[in-house]
């Protein structure tokens, strides 16, 4: 749901589930913030950070293993640190499976994964794939090189590898103010958080919202932030989805 009148909107929602609208509401007035985006994807379509960057002057770390998406991010976000990496529980190299269309399919890049079990599900559903080698590092390594404890936002969207990503950094030390994690098995509504959520909660976080796709967490010492995160994007946020804005020829 967004603006009823296409001329009466305050925000374009680039996130597929309008997650960025929730974040803009939660961090309203927080200029110059810092994010870490694991599985950053496209810098526009599907981006949870584009509004934060362009409207609030945020900067951050974009982590993206697909070379074409890495290039787009690097060109679009000159003020950010953009790394062509996959986050894992160990440093080295790994096979990364770029999902590409099969018969009757379109897109697929956002389904790409390190997880062979996830790959098998996609192949069984008619997707094809290309195997590439990517560098892997723990999240702790990236944070130690580029972040400061207490940064604003950690977002994780890694198609089945969420547990490894979250376990690869000391969240209790780094204490991002909010954490957003894709929390269903790819292309389903089946919950996938059971294996990794206890570690997030134990690091000092509370669940603020499950929007059907993602789980939003706030630090336990920030009840006001948790409150602002707790409501899904809705008509009161006066947003218009990116795909509608494109179709209507609106500025995006």
* Alpha carbon distance 228, 223 (integer Å): 9
How big is the CA angle at 104 (ends 131 and 250), to the nearest 5 degrees? 95
pLDDT of residue 154: 98
Residue 66: predicted pLDDT: 95
Is it the case that residue 47 has pLDDT exceeding 60? yes
The answer to whether residues 148 and 167 touch, using CB atoms and an 8 Å cutoff, is no
pLDDT band at residue 124 using 50, 70 and 90 as cut-offs: confident
Structural domain spans, the chain: 11-247
Q: What is the CATH number of domain 11-247?
A: 3.40.50.150
Closest CA to 240 of 51, 92, 97, 91: 51
Q: What is the pLDDT of residue 4?
A: 57
Quick: pLDDT tens for 22-38. 999 999 999 999 999 99
What would the two tokens of residue 177 be?
A: 């103010």
Could you report the per-residue pLDDT of 140-188, keeping only the tens digit for each? 999 999 999 999 999 999 988 999 999 999 999 999 999 999 999 887 8
Contact 153, 53 (CB under 8 A): no
Higher per-residue confidence, 154 vs 99: 154
Long-range contacts of 228-231 (CB under 8 A, 24+ apart): 228/25, 228/26, 228/28, 229/22, 229/23, 229/26, 229/178, 231/22, 231/25
Is residue 104 scored above 90 in pLDDT? no
Which residues on neighbouring strands pair with residue 106, listed in sequence order? none
For the residues 91-108, what does the mean pLDDT come to? 87
Model confidence, pTM = 0.94
Q: Is the pLDDT of residue 122 over 80?
A: yes
The angle at the Cα of 48, spanning 193 to 192, to the nearest 5 degrees, equals 10
**Could you give the 3-state DSSP secondary structure of residue 205?**
strand
Neighbouring residues of 127: CB distance < 8 A, sequence distance ≥ 6: 99, 100, 101, 102, 105, 108, 111
How much is the pLDDT for 160? 83
> What is the radius of gyration, based on Cα positions, of the chain?
17
Residue 100 has pLDDT above 90, yes or no: no
By percentage, how much of the chain surpasses pLDDT 70?
Answer: 97
């Amino acid at each position: 749901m967004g603006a009823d009148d296409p001329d009466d909107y305050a925000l374009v929602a680039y996130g597929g589930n309008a997650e960025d609208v929730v974040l803009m509401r939660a961090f309203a007035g927080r200029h110059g913030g810092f994010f870490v985006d694991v599985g950053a994807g496209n810098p526009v379509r599907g981006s949870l950070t584009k509004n934060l960057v362009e409207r609030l002057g945020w900067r951050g770390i974009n982590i993206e293993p697909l070379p074409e998406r890495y290039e787009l991010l690097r060109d679009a976000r000159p003020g950010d640190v953009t790394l062509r990496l996959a986050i894992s529980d160990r440093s080295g190299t790994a096979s990364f499976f770029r999902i590409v269309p099969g018969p009757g399919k379109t897109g697929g890049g956002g389904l790409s994964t390190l997880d062979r079990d996830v790959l098998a599900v996609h192949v069984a559903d008619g997707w094809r794939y290309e195997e590439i080698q990517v560098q892997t590092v723990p999240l702790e390594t990236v944070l130690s090189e580029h972040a400061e404890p207490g940064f604003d936002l950690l977002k994780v969207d890694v198609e089945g590898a969420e547990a490894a990503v979250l376990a690869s950094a000391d969240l209790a030390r780094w204490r991002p103010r909010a954490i957003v994690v894709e929390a269903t098995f790819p292309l389903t509504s089946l919950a996938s958080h059971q294996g990794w959520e206890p570690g997030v909660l134990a690091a000092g976080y509370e669940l603020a919202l499950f929007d059907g796709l993602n789980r939003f967490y706030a630090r336990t010492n920030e009840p006001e932030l948790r409150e602002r995160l707790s409501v899904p994007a809705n008509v009161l946020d006066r947003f218009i989805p990116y795909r509608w804005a494109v179709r209507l020829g609106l500025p995006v």
